[in-house]
Structure 1
């Protein structure tokens, strides 16, 4: 069962404009643009097809290899954006610099497996590697142009640029879109593979090898919430940033749309 109408804002994605004022109104425009973007329908299509159709090795390789150029950029990108925010605010609002950086850093802490102070957990890249290997997808597949669709490589390049080389507003818009979409996509991934547990050689629907999907399905709503808090701070501080924020969000959504159109066409050609 899909968890929600993907075109509806979830509770953690809506700003209380009575509290957040002009920043809240501008934020809600961006959030609504994200959930109404055609990329969400493309992702929804993928989730439905994945649940109904188990993937053979070539299809699994194409799916994971096309996502990997983007997935592998995320942890370092978030870390860099957190540092950029802290550095910028140290000059103007020093007591806000660390707290606002922390809202973004929270997501990277999870990516690096550092969310428990008394235990080192596997970083998400290692969880991805373990999942891929279990599914028969090797490092050769992940690096081969035979399996990496161009739109996946382009999404990775876009992520590198938008976390590092554009304005803070554009970076925050890109980050928000990424976290909001992730709240949906990893549920689709998890349910799709759980639905064909025997075919994929899983012990059961809770096989630890699915941790890459399962962990994201748990933490991404929290990451969307902290991304929202940071963005509201900046929009209330400088409402003119809203144009940059929207541009960054739509850049993510356009790239994501292209990536999943490419995946759907390659993996589910008879059905998509």
Structure 2
């Protein structure tokens, strides 16, 4: 009786999932959110992308393009995830294709693992491979998100460190008599690292399109999820006509970023020292147990 009820519940859940999938994939009237998201995406693409988008020839590219179009139709922006991908310089379509392909691999991996366990002699219920398939599909589908979040955090740390040095260079160029646009570009040309390359390309695009460079830096900060660049854009917009105030503001901001970085480094070092202390205490406790165990066994035997 319990197996019949469990089978009915599983069948109802599977049927509900199939219905939700078909309902999501069916074309429907677009909501205001999806329409605004599509307009923002087309505006962000700009006229440089051309009237028609190139159709990818590989399977991964076609899957990613279709999933991206589905996300756009539903109005799912996922701005924080897009910012992480922008920091890592990865495409949105390729990321979505990776998630779908890993989810499909999880659907196959679950029953395959159950077949191995069944050959060994573990598990006999036919519902186990279904649950394992769904579980591994969900886990594999979320793995790219975890990887992107982890890598983006590390790369943002490097970018913030470079921004602090960049602000010092801009302040030094301003003190040398250069104007603000020339100082921003000259400081960005000091190295060919990926962070300064992003800033240099942003400033060059702003010069070509006729946009003010601090506005372009603010857009870059919004795209990459870097609050320091956004705050820098606002500060430069307020004091762009006063060179002395710009130098003082940039020097103070760079010093604040250095103090914050030192505080983070000290906090990380403190956490590592605490973990090492815990490991040493556990090792000492294990050694004491190793010494006391023979004597305790003799006492209990007598």
Q: TM-score scaled to structure 1, two decimals? A: 0.25
Query: Whose RCO is larger (CA < 8 A, sep 6+)?
Result: 1
**Structure with bigger gyration radius:** 2
